[in-house]
Structure 1
Amino acid sequence: ALEGREPPGRGRGSSVALLVGYLIGISHIDPLKWSLTLERFLSEDTTVLPDIDLDFPRALRDELIERVHQRFGPEYAVLAGAIATYKIKGVLRDLGKALGLPQEELGLLSKQMRSHDARRLREEMEQLPAFNQRVGACGWRELIELAPQLMGAPKLLSQHVGGMILSSLPIPEMVPVREGAMEGRYIMDWDKDSVADAGFAKIDILSLPVLDQLEEALDLVEAREGKRPDVSRIDPKDGKVYDMINAGLSKGIFLLQSPAQLKMGQRLLSRNLLDLAYQVALIRPGVGVQGSAVSQFVERYRHGAEWEYDHPLEERALARGYGIIVWQEQVVQLITDVTGLTAAQADEIRRAFARSNNEHLIALHWEQFREGARSKGVPEEAARTIFAKINGHYMFPESHSHAFAITAYQAAWLKCYYPLEFFVALMNNQPMGFYPLETLKQDARRFGIPFRNPCVNRSEVRCRPEEGAVRMGLVFTKDVGEAWAKRIVEERERHGAYTDTGDLVRRTGITEQAVLSLAKAGAFDGIASNRREALWEAGLTVRPGGNGQRALSLARTESAAALTDFDAREQMIGEYEVLELYPKGHLMEFVRPTLARHVRSSVEVEKLDEGAAVTVAGWPVARQHPRGRDGTVFVTIEDEYGDVQIILWGDVFARYSRELDSQVIEVNGTVSKWDGTTNVIVTSLRAIRVGVRMPRAHDWH
């Protein structure tokens, strides 16, 4: 994969601020142009050797790790270990097993749990009909009591996601090293914190799926036009690209596609890469947890609202965030300016906030902070207010935001100017991002890109462009898998197109279940009278044995049954079942006629005024539980025209959390218009049963 071209790697994290990194090509950000600082990465008094993070396409990352092992040998290049800790599902499984509780019931409870907090286990069980009588039962009572104690405890030693340790001395002489589960990989028994404490050099070789998507999309453009666009030289201020982002049309685009980012695009109205760097940074837990910080930033940055500092010493650190802590570097700068501590000491405080069970550590650092602030003439009340602005939730380094902003912009540029290639590559590099395939397909249709069902005579293994449409790959069909998809394509290329369903079965030996799924997916539509007859034909065909011998093409005496085809609804149900999308339309097209006339569509909701009462229905496709929001949950529901974001305050979510698992929900609420966005504040909702197996909305915490 690496022969003949340089691997398209990119720097990320605070190391992007290195000028030498930019000059030698491991970063694509000019730190002088963006006034990036090095304190977060390498301060003058640091005692910790910094690491460097590099992103590569998934297809190259594994090969690169293997090559590093080969180049330096397992004595001098090994992967860092990682300590996996207990989360709620593991707690229920392992603790429940130790208490002798039935594994089947523990699995059911794990699936039905909504909270990731073991302290809410009793509350969750009381709300579940299958478990509400067991909260006081033997074993279950102990599970409820002990579960919070196991949360966060070490579970097992695993492999770091990509941290490669390089040493000039033999590593096994200092640290235990073992062979990894994957052949050719070697892992040390220390995690990244121990590695840092010991002073080892670490380079994180990471995968970033959007790079696979960009590479494939550019390959497709080159195949069609004969010339490969150089995305490093595109206009970074292209108004058409920003208009698309600001209209909330950035689904499928790296870091700009979450429901929160879609709304942020409409509010921030980015027009350049600096705006975009702010945009990707603002929707991070460490920023959102600061109360109304995001809204305050937008008001100040975009609308010129004024603000005051709690002390003049804050200004240098907070000015670039318009009075808000947006980036990690600001935390270090804030602490050094207010207390006089060194950058290394300040970063130690920042890191302490991110540790678990850190109450004692934070108390010690507060005393250090208070004494330093006092020496700089800062009153204790102001010092306490400033210290409270620091939190341990994740936020980007500033250099990281700039690096990812450029990658996001390049993806947006491709979606804007080459939507067909963009969506083909997006489909082929799933999973990546927030949305199920159906939602991505709907977004493609809004960009004028239709989808075509898999076809045994036209599809490749993966998706491909076909006459301005996305022809779905065979591998997207349930029960087919990559091996069978390749066999179908290779047999077709060697011996010609398939003439009927039985011909495919005889020539490939494909399994009965795979044939059934292909028929439901419409993959035989071009060679069978209808889908029922395709299934009948397959059932009459003798399959070859496991030795690869082909079946003889003997004449059959059975007459083909004159079967009625599936109706449109049955076809839709079948396609959702085996493809997880419906290429021709949307589930809500079939549900809409059954709804009351007052139920609005997503398009109609956008036109309503602030405070208007509204009822809207749709399929829940994404849920977000942002920190610092008192249990508020944001849910995106989708219909055949678009989507609507609904907001459930904590008490409302507690009442209706189970209904949100339904394929379709009907929501009653009021319209909230705010800063160019439209939401529905939910007062009540009900589940609508439609008998279609839809992908369940993902919970993002």
Structure 2
Amino acid sequence: MGKKIKELIDQQGEAFVAGAVAKGYDRAKVQALWEQIVPFAQYGFNKSHSVAYAFVAYQTAYLKVYYPLHFWAATLSSEVDDTDQLAFYVNSLKAKGIPILPPDVNSSRDTFTVEGNAIRVGLVAVKGLGETAAKAILAARQQHRRFTSVVGFLRALPERVANKRVLESLIRSGSLDSLYPHRGVLLDKLDWLLERANHQRQSLAAGQGFLFGLESEEGDGLPAPESVAPMPSQELLAGERETLGFYLSGHPLDRYQNVLQVLGIMPLSQLEKAWEEGEREVTVAGLVSGMAQHKTREKNGQGGRPMASFLLEDQTAAVRAVAFPDAFARLQSLLENGRALRVVATLAKSSRDDKVELRVEDASPLEGIELRKARAVRLTIPLSRFESKERLEELMDALSECEGNLPVRLRLVGESFRAEVLPARVLGVDPEKLQKRLLALLGPGHVEYLYNG
């Protein structure tokens, strides 16, 4: 029964019935008894086992309802080795409004833990760190109470743990942000930080720490945080994905959120509901990951045709997508890991797990989608910054020099009024050139794409 092999079960059934009849039992009753036994080859266990399962299910449901943060912290901790499942849970919790705090050498435990009304990522979730390094960090923190500098933190760790791989993983995951907020600077000075910490560790071991004033050291010799430009968002998020398996500081699709909303792009978390309501054609957007190429089965003596499967991930969920040969032939150059795409697809149910998946029909890159889909660009002009004729001429020169095909609208903002204006001298602009020019004149946030005329 345990093997669930039908041919063997049938053979055993014949032997069971024949043996019982030979001992004087009624054949019909024996046959009826066997037919009750056979379903156990599908799924079955004794009543005590059922009771144990029910009890665990009740405990789990109770915790999920009355202690949801502790329940989810434990669930996340149990999935640290399954990156896809971990990312799915993290995205689901963020969508529910439950904050996920980044790993932190001063606050994290080894596993995920509850911190106030949020869940803190555990150190063992940081790829490249490992359980040994995580325990060494916790032991050092218990001894030193709180780390105040990157070099001081490295100095407190055993030399075998404070290595380049561990430090890089801690930086990229955001685990050292509380000690120094600019990950790019730490990555640039990675070797220097390790050398300095090692030198100080040796000095302390030789009893010479007092010569360097190590106990009072705070600054690491790093540049003042306010004097450093932040790491580009895409690089920061890529580091988090690489070391954690999910994004924390944001999401690469955040920059497209306005245009995706205007265009009616469906969040991936709504696909199951769409399927239940009978929708089959959908337009979604997401990042490609787990890209894998396959071949269809050979047919009529001809070799299989190439196709692909991958995960499409947005801020709300990750869904399996399949590009069959015809679609794959057209879209192969776009289907690569890390690519942000707008995807037109047919919904289907997977034969493997009965979950909704995407059958890709068409795709286009999200890069530049604002310009491709926009009908006009609107510039918000605070009049308090353009009181002189010279300043207004400077603005009009910028518009003239960045002339293009996209219609331009002006929104003039005064102390007590707001007016929409169509400029007479410039009918259209090149928004990419214009944004660079206007950044110096207006600062960020004054250029807006319009999608409905």
Give the structure-1-normalised TM-score. 0.37
- Structure 1 residue aligned with 2:70: 421
5+ residue gaps, structure 2, are 291-308, 367-453
CA contact (8 A) 2:348 2:358 kept: no
Letter in structure 2 aligned against 1:366: E
Letter in structure 1 aligned against 2:239: G
- Structure 1 residue aligned with 2:283: 615
CA contact (8 A) 2:155 2:200 kept: no
Tell me the CA shift for residue 533 of structure 1.
1.8
**Superposed CA offset, 1:404-430 (max 9, x none):** 122122112111111121122223334
Residue 662 to residue 525, structure 1, CA distance change in 2 (3 Å):
closer
Tell me the CA shift for residue 377 of structure 1.
5.0
Residue 583 to residue 397, structure 1, CA distance change in 2 (3 Å):
farther
Residue 670 to residue 440, structure 1, CA distance change in 2 (3 Å):
closer
Letter in structure 2 aligned against 1:639: D
Tell me the CA shift for residue 363 of structure 1.
3.3
Residue 517 to residue 590, structure 1, CA distance change in 2 (3 Å):
farther
Secondary structure at the residue paired with 1:577? helix
Letter in structure 2 aligned against 1:641: T
Please point out which of 233, 236, 241 is paired with 1:571.
236
Compare CA radii of gyration and give the structure with the larger one.
Answer: 2
Tell me the CA shift for residue 618 of structure 1.
4.9
Residue 401 to residue 685, structure 1, CA distance change in 2 (3 Å):
farther
Please point out which of 346, 351, 355 is paired with 1:669.
346
Letter in structure 2 aligned against 1:530: H
**Superposed CA offset, 1:615-651 (max 9, x none):** 33557999xxxxxxxxxxx9996532346688x8xx9
What is the aligned-residue RMSD (CA, Å)? Answer: 5.2
Please point out which of 305, 310, 314 is paired with 1:639.
314
Secondary structure at the residue paired with 2:178? coil
* 2-structure distance, mates of 1:443, 1:413: 20
- Structure 2 residue aligned with 1:502: 151
5+ residue gaps, structure 1, are 1-349, 623-633, 673-677, 691-701
Secondary structure at the residue paired with 1:449? coil
| 1:551-570 matched pairs, under 5 angstroms | 553=212, 560=223, 563-570=228-235
Query: Looking at both structures, which has the greater relative contact order when contacts are Cα pairs under 8 Å and sequence separation is at least 6?
Result: 1
- Structure 2 residue aligned with 1:486: 135
In the alignment, is residue 602 of structure 1 matched against residue 264 of structure 2? no
* 1-structure distance, mates of 2:49, 2:81: 19
CA contact (8 A) 1:668 1:682 kept: yes
Q: Number of residues paired by the alignment?
A: 316
Identity of aligned residues (%): 24
CA contact (8 A) 1:599 1:616 kept: yes
**Superposed CA offset, 1:272-297 (max 9, x none):** xxxxxxxxxxxxxxxxxxxxxxxxxx
Please point out which of 198, 204, 214 is paired with 1:544.
198
Residue 396 to residue 545, structure 1, CA distance change in 2 (3 Å):
farther
**Superposed CA offset, 1:517-560 (max 9, x none):** 11111122222141112234443232427996648548999874
The structure in which a higher percent of residues are strand is: 2
* 1-structure distance, mates of 2:247, 2:100: 9
**Superposed CA offset, 1:25-68 (max 9, x none):** xxxxxxxxxxxxxxxxxxxxxxxxxxxxxxxxxxxxxxxxxxxx
CA contact (8 A) 1:636 1:644 kept: yes
Please point out which of 13, 30, 35 is paired with 1:365.
13
Secondary structure at the residue paired with 1:669? strand
CA contact (8 A) 1:663 1:689 kept: no
| 1:145-294 matched pairs, under 5 angstroms | none
Tell me the CA shift for residue 480 of structure 1.
2.2
CA contact (8 A) 2:282 2:345 kept: yes
In the alignment, is residue 472 of structure 1 matched against residue 121 of structure 2? yes
Residue 543 to residue 527, structure 1, CA distance change in 2 (3 Å):
closer
Residue 367 to residue 443, structure 1, CA distance change in 2 (3 Å):
same
Letter in structure 2 aligned against 1:454: P
* 2-structure distance, mates of 1:637, 1:369: 54
CA contact (8 A) 1:414 1:422 kept: yes
**Superposed CA offset, 1:426-463 (max 9, x none):** 23334588952222222333444211111222223333
**Superposed CA offset, 1:565-619 (max 9, x none):** 2222221110111112222444554676897946422355435741442233557
Letter in structure 2 aligned against 1:669: T
Residue 652 to residue 489, structure 1, CA distance change in 2 (3 Å):
same
CA contact (8 A) 1:663 1:688 kept: no
* 2-structure distance, mates of 1:463, 1:412: 20
Please point out which of 73, 89, 106 is paired with 1:457.
106
* 1-structure distance, mates of 2:259, 2:156: 45
CA contact (8 A) 1:457 1:492 kept: yes
CA contact (8 A) 2:289 2:313 kept: yes
- Structure 2 residue aligned with 1:695: none
Residue 520 to residue 372, structure 1, CA distance change in 2 (3 Å):
same
Tell me the CA shift for residue 470 of structure 1.
1.4
Secondary structure at the residue paired with 1:525? coil
Residue 489 to residue 537, structure 1, CA distance change in 2 (3 Å):
farther
